[in-house]
Structure formats: structure tokens, C-alpha cells
Amino acid sequence: MSGTQTGSHRAGGAHASPVVELDDVHLSFAGVKAINGVSLQVQPGELFAVIGPNGAGKTSLFNVISGVYRPQKGRISVLGEDVLGAKPNAIARRGVARTFQNIALFEHLTVVDNLMLGRHQHIGYGALSAVLWRGRARSQEIEHRRRCEEIVDFLELAQWRSLPVGLLPYGVQKRVELGRALAMEPKLLLLDEPVAGMNLEETEDMARFVLDIRDELDLAIIMVEHDMGLVMDLADRVLVVDFGTPITTGTPDEVQRHPEVVRAYLGEALS
């Protein structure tokens, strides 16, 4: 893809400014503490994973970063700008894209058209130019299609590019969803259980694409995932949460050796 760089700021490089920063974030629902004092920073080119048992608050964390929920306390900034209270579409425009646990695609539309929907926020022409199909509308449409075709190549989707997404295997649909997030040209990519429900081959493919995205596009990535093997293989750093409370943040090695993590709930999964 054009404009690519290598992930030179990996794992919290000293000179990079964080793409996203959370400081002592708290979120409760009628007495349930979904997030209880989480702080984190993710740098460009860093793959940051969040793990924890069911109900630990992982999806809630994505929802506060993307503006779906407003925390009662704490600070959240994206690219140095405070985004607390901003609407989800404003945060998306700031450079935050997301994939979901359950696939959220338009299944009657083709792969390329689903990717084009990810370009929505970059479309700058008015309705009249679009109807008349001239000038800015025409040149922008061509450019958007070109960007989408780059993503088709990058994610090896060419053989399915003109098929309705609903007809494609599950693993390919998850890849299209990833592609649509990339079409937004984000600075921060939130991946919610990217390999949930996948077979081994699909999981390996997805792992490869996630690494390619980190290394070639220099994005900050936060990944929530239950597949511990995958997390420990891929992540630069891992945050462990339990009942909304952060237990530790560190490299996969550090986290796996943390006594409280082992004792609390990871011992069996990692042994």
C-alpha cells in the first residue's frame, strides 16, 4: 500500500507521542464497575493487547475509546487531543477505526463496496457533484476506488472482490471487516476478538495480516482477544484486567510470569 512505513516506534519507543492515552478511566453501570481506574498509552507501530476473563471490561474499554460510552471519571486523548465526550463519528474522523466481535458488514454488497463504505468520512464532494458525476466527485471516486483496491491486494481479497460479502467464508468476512476499518486510514485500530470462531488456518492468516498492518502501516493497534497463544505471540505489550481493574501491563513474558495473573485466571490457559 502507498504511504507505508516500518513500525519504527514499536513497544513504546522513547521519542514517539502516544496515539491514544487513557488516564485513570472509570465507567460504571448502575453499580457494576466495568472499568475501574485503567490507564494506558499506545504508540504508533505498537500492538497492544487487552486480556481478561468474560465481563472484565474489555469491550467497555473499546466503547469508551470510540465514544460509545462516556466514562464518569478519567481522561482519554487521541493524537494528543482530549476526546472525552466527543461523538463516535468525531472520534472516528480523528483516526480511530474498529472491528467488532460479531461481523458488521453489508452482506448484499460486494467486498469492494463494503470497503468503499469505510472511505465515507474521506468523501468531500457534495450531492450535486455526485449526481452530475463530474469534477471533484469523479476524481475523488477514482482515488477512493484505488485506495480500496490497494487494501484488496494487501489483505489478499482479490478472488472475492466482486462477490457479495454474505456468500464468503467466515474468515474472509472477518478480513473484509478488517479491510473496511483500514479503508478509514486510521491511526488507531481497535480489534475486538479478531479470531473468535475461526479455524486454525483462518487464525493463522488473520495473525499474519495483523502483524503486516502493524509493521507496514505503522498504526497503533489495540486488540482484545481470548486466544492466549495468539496474544502472547503477537502483542508487544499486554494489559490484564479483571472485573474492570488493571492487574498489570507488560511484555507477554512479564505478564505470563506475574504471580497475580497466573493465580487469578491465566495459569491453566498458559501452562
Ligand X SMILES: Nc1ncnc2c1ncn2[C@@H]1O[C@H](COP(=O)(O)OP(=O)(O)OP(=O)(O)O)[C@@H](O)[C@H]1O
Contacting residues toward ligand X, per CB under 6 A: 29, 32, 34, 52, 54-60
Distance in Å, CB of 34 to ligand X, minimum: 3
Helices (H), 55-124: 58-65, 88-94, 111-118
Q: Which of 2, 25, 187 is nearest to 92 (CA)?
A: 187
Beta bridge partners of 29: 32
CB-based contact 91:77 (threshold 8 Å): no
Nearer to ligand X, 52 or 67 (CB): 52
Distance in Å, CB of 227 to ligand X, minimum: 12
Nearer to ligand X, 43 or 59 (CB): 59
Nearer to ligand X, 101 or 140 (CB): 101
Nearer to ligand X, 2 or 54 (CB): 54
Packed helices 170-183 and 111-118: angle between N→C axes, nearest 10 degrees:
30
Secondary structure E strands in the chain: 20-29, 32-42, 47-51, 73-78, 81-82, 96-99, 188-192, 220-224, 237-242, 245-250
Distance in Å, CB of 97 to ligand X, minimum: 19
Distance in Å, CB of 147 to ligand X, minimum: 32
Nearer to ligand X, 65 or 168 (CB): 65
Distance in Å, CB of 99 to ligand X, minimum: 14
Beta bridge partners of 40: 22
Nearer to ligand X, 44 or 52 (CB): 52
Residues belonging to the chain: 271
CB-based contact 154:185 (threshold 8 Å): no
Distance in Å, CB of 115 to ligand X, minimum: 27
CA–CA distance, 253 with 265 (Å, rounded to integer): 16
Nearer to ligand X, 102 or 271 (CB): 102
CA–CA distance, 168 with 160 (Å, rounded to integer): 8
DSSP-assigned letter for residue 266: I
Query: Cα 55 to the chain's mean position, in Å?
Result: 19
- In what order do the strands lie in the sheet containing 81-82? 32-42, 20-29, 73-78, 81-82
Distance in Å, CB of 231 to ligand X, minimum: 13
Nearer to ligand X, 36 or 140 (CB): 36
Strand 188-192 and strand 245-250: pairing?
unpaired
CB-based contact 228:13 (threshold 8 Å): no
